[in-house]
Amino acid sequence: MLTKIAELLEEVKNYPINSAEALKDFHLKYLSKKGEISNLMPFIKEVAPEDRKTFGQKINELKNFAEDKFKNAQTEQEQAADAGAAAEFDLTLPIIPNELGTVHPLTLTRQRIIEIFERIGFNVEDGPEIEDDWHNFTALNFPPNHPAREMQDTFFIEKNPDILLRTHTSNVQIRLMERQKPPIRAIMPGRVFRNEAITARAHCIFHQVEGLYVDENVSLVDLKQTLFHFAKEMFGKDTKIRFRSSFFPFTEVSAEVDISCFICKGKGCNVCKQTGWVEILGCGMVDPNVLESCGIDSNRYTGFAFGMGIERIAMLKYNIRDLRLFTENDVRFLRQFANVV
Chain residues binding ligand DAH by CB under 6 A are 168, 170, 210, 248, 251, 282-284, 305-307
Nearer to ligand DAH, 55 or 306 (CB): 306
- List for the chain the helix, strand, coil content (%; round to 5): 45, 20, 35
Cβ 236 to ligand DAH, closest distance in Å? 24
Which residue of the chain is nearest ligand DAH when measured via CB? 307
Report the residue number, 189 or 284, with the smaller CB distance to ligand DAH. 284
Per the CB < 8 A criterion, the answer to whether 187 and 210 are in contact is: yes
Least separation in angstroms between residue 168's CB and ligand DAH is 3
Smallest separation, CB 282 to ligand DAH (Å) = 3
- Tell me how far apart the alpha carbons of residues 311 and 188 are, in angstroms, rounded to a whole number: 15
Q: Which spans in the chain are helix H?
A: 2-14, 20-26, 36-40, 52-87, 105-118, 133-136, 147-151, 170-179, 220-235, 288-293, 310-318, 325-328, 331-334
Comparing C-alpha atoms, which of 285, 312, 282, 294 is closest to residue 172? 294
> 17 or 323: whose CB is closer to ligand DAH?
323
The CA-based angle 219-220-225, given to 5 degrees, is 105
Q: How far is the CB of 281 from ligand DAH (least distance, A)?
A: 7
Q: Which is nearer to ligand DAH, 8 or 311 (CB)?
A: 311
Q: Based on CB atoms, which residue is closest to ligand DAH, 96 or 197? A: 197
Q: Which is nearer to ligand DAH, 170 or 260 (CB)?
A: 170
Beta bridge partners of 248: 251
Smallest distance, ligand DAH to C-beta of residue 96, A: 47
Alpha-carbon gap, residue 286 to 299, rounded angstroms: 12
Rg of the chain taking only CA atoms, in angstroms: 44
SS3 at position 282: strand
Nearest residue (CB) to ligand DAH, 12 versus 305: 305
Q: Min. distance of Cβ 335 from ligand DAH in angstroms?
A: 31
Dist CA 64 CA 73 (whole Å): 14
CB of 276 to ligand DAH, least distance (A): 23
Contact 137, 162 (CB under 8 A): no
